[in-house]
Amino acid sequence: MKVKELIAQLQTYDPDLMVVVSGYEGGVEEAGYTSEHTIALNVNEDWYYGPHEMINEEDRHEGHERVRAVYVR
């Protein structure tokens, strides 16, 4: 994905949304798409995980603030 393609995709989202990327697992790869998700903030304490988690129906993460975010992959 080129910067101009990423910019075009990001312009379709609310500009106040947080942008998140994959946590620590090694390596990098070319960005291919963006998607919008609800995330729970400050869920993980271990250094090798990103601090936040995308929410799905199995992961409730009660007691953690939830925000909408753009995931860049």
Over the stretch 16-61, which tens digit does the pLDDT of each residue have? 988 877 766 655 566 778 888 999 999 999 988 889 998 877 777 8
What is the reported pTM? 0.69
Burial of 21 from C-beta contacts in 10 A (0-12 / 13-18 / 19+): exposed
Rounded Cα distance, 3 and 31, in Å:
9
Burial of 46 from C-beta contacts in 10 A (0-12 / 13-18 / 19+): exposed
Q: What token pair was written down for 45?
A: 């304490």
Rounded Cα distance, 12 and 45, in Å:
32
- Quick check: helix, strand or coil at residue 7? helix
